[in-house]
Amino acid sequence: MGTGAWTTDDWNTFGKTTRTASGATKSASDIFARTIHPDFDPLGIEIRESRDSAEHPNATPVAVTLDVTGSMGRIPHSLITDGLGDMVQNILTRQPVADPQIMFMAVGDAKCDRYPLQATQFEADIRIAEQLKQLYLEGGGGGNGGESYHLAWYFLAVKAAIDSFDKRGQKGILFTVGDENIHKTLKADEIKRVFGDDVERDLTSKELLDMLERRFDVFHLQVIEGPYDNTGDHGERWRDLLGERVIPVTDYHEIPAIIVSTLEVMAGRPKADIIASWNGSTAVAVQEAIQGLAPSRGDLAATGGVWRPGLGIK
């Protein structure tokens, strides 16, 4: 997977499928799948691959996991009808990473949802959008204090094969996006139901994160209302796990710009320059999002100024 090249012509053509004959934007229920696509069900997935090729000799896997419970379905709808094209094009133009290969995951709650995880392929062309459109926005979740974002951590830790790490010792990147807390544990019976895997015991979020961070740099975009709330268990649990890599999102429409800007910060580019490269409300949202981030410790000089995630792995 990960062949081909993204073009604005392909994106513009794809955009016609998300609009009515009169040009109005279709509703999420008219765009996205009505049930899970069998190719995206973790029960049937043995591996997801991000491979180097002649087209993309230094492939960088970028995974974006979207909370699709409750009102969070508005975010994939915003991406598929508008923001995804700008996000991909800006990554290609600004080049904070080399040869990006992008996959999407949809996450819910393993405690109550029928399909709490879906995972597309790593792709480099319009199939990124085509597969996003094939996700099922279950809209479930429950009033139990969190969602199962760590399903994405388990999936990438055990089912992702990435040349960036295997060949060059360079980590992939994962962004999770949502407005809820993360459950403290992923239970053995939940792993069995979602993935079909037998594990000896329940796994804590910290254990799952440790597994994943061997090969992926992990960020969480916390969708919030108003100023970022740094108090209470809701924020504390995320910060205990990810620290500064919990990124506040005050306007979900700006998630594409925030993802691109986060990659640029980690590439060592000055925050002031990054913020100044955006206009109006986007610049404000980006400033709020990246102000607490520190650059990667990777050796930028050795990589020609392009972020190579995870350099200096011990």
pLDDT of res. 78: 96
Class of domain 8-294: alpha beta
pLDDT tens sequence across 25-77: 999 999 999 999 999 999 999 999 999 999 999 999 999 999 999 889 999 99
Query: Does residue 314 register a pLDDT over 60?
Result: no
Picking from 155, 128, 136, 208, the residue whose alpha carbon sits closest to that of residue 45 is: 155
pTM of the model: 0.92
108 CB-near residues (< 8 Å, 6+ apart): 67, 68, 69, 115, 116, 117, 138, 140, 141, 147, 148
What's the average model confidence in pLDDT over 189-204? Answer: 97
Distance (Å, whole) CA 239 – CA 237 = 6
Give the CA count within 13 Å in the CB-facing half-sphere of 81.
Answer: 20
d(CA 109, CA 141): 5
User: What does the alpha-carbon distance between residue 68 and residue 71 come to, in Å, rounded to a whole number?
Assistant: 8
Alpha helices, H only, 162-268 = 163-168, 188-195, 205-212, 232-242, 255-266
In terms of C-beta density within 10 A (0-12 exposed, 13-18 middle, 19 or more buried), how is residue 193 classed?
A: middle
> pLDDT tens digit string along 230-274?
545 566 889 999 999 999 999 999 999 999 999 999 999 999 999
Q: What would the 3-class secondary structure string for 284-313 be?
A: HHHHHHHCCCCCCCCCCHHHCCCCCCCCCC
Mean pLDDT taken over the chain: 90
Which of the four pLDDT bands, split at 50, 70 and 90, describes residue 225? Answer: low
How sure is the predictor about 307, in pLDDT bands with cuts at 50, 70 and 90? very low
Q: Read off the tokens for 101.
A: 């290969």
* Higher-confidence position of 302 and 228: 228
In this predicted model, what pLDDT tens digit does every residue of 78-132 receive, in sequence order? 999 999 999 999 999 999 999 999 999 999 999 999 999 999 999 999 999 999 9
- Diameter over CA atoms, the chain: 56
